[in-house]
Amino acid sequence: MRTKATAIGATLVALAVLCAMFATSASAAPAWKFEGKSLEGTEVVLGGAIESSMTIPGLTTKCEDFLYKLTVENASGTGKGSLTEMPLYNCTTNSKVCSVSTIGAEKLPWASKLTTVETIPYIIIEGVKVSIYYLGSKCVLDETLVTVTGSAGGSIDNTAETATFNASTLSASKTELKALSQKIEWNGLFPTEAFQWHREQALSVS
């Protein structure tokens, strides 16, 4: 009798531990929150890069400004998103004989999801594709189309309400952007702010 009771007790303890583990796991999935409350439905996060540069090895190509529009939602408690627009402005190279004839984000929308890397919330942008067409008769990339592809992870600062993308955040999130078969560097600082149903509300991810 005592053995049976012990077995039942052990089973209950094991179940409790399992439940606790799953509960911890579920709560660890980051979600979009406004004023501390989980987002219900969708919201639009819209902003402009405070600073951003993309370094393609050999020929540094920079865009002075760019904007983004991200529709976010929580699906099964986990934050997801869809980058639907990303207009670029004032893109140039570091060579006076090479100009950026055209450049644009392609195959939008790009999917995104929230994750946690060592307790820090991250946003992962997937399926990135940016095509760049260079011109300049004396340019090594004259009439050449270069495509940047891959995924990019940026850390989210809940206090400053910004997302930061750089070599460290890409490495930490095990993401990479490539062009010319090589990793490229992307540095960007973006504000995260809602513009639809939760305007003026504090946006956080946890």
Shortest reach from residue 13's CB to other proteins, in Å: 41
Q: Site residues for other proteins, window 62-81 (CB under 8 A)? A: 63-67, 69
Stretch that binds other proteins, among 1-9, 23-31, 41-49, 113-121 (CB under 8 A): 41-49
**Closer Cβ to other proteins, 91 or 123, answer by number:** 91
Sole residue written with tokens 């594709």 = 129
**Closer Cβ to other proteins, 8 or 50, answer by number:** 50
Cβ 184 vs Cβ 54: under 8 Å: yes
38 binds other proteins (CB under 8 A): no
Beta-strand relationship, 42-48 and 61-75? antiparallel
Choosing from 29, 117, 120, 139, the residue that interacts with other proteins (CB under 8 A) is 139
β strands within 3-143, DSSP E: 32-34, 37-38, 42-48, 51-55, 61-75, 78-85, 88-93, 99-105, 110-117, 120-135
Choosing from 88, 128, 163, 205, the residue that interacts with other proteins (CB under 8 A) is 88
Choosing from 62, 106, 113, 117, the residue that interacts with other proteins (CB under 8 A) is 106
174 binds other proteins (CB under 8 A): no
Choosing from 15, 23, 57, 77, the residue that interacts with other proteins (CB under 8 A) is 57
Cβ 187 vs Cβ 146: under 8 Å: no
Residue 12 has which token pair? 């209950």
Q: Is 64 helix (H, G, I), strand (E, B) or coil?
A: strand
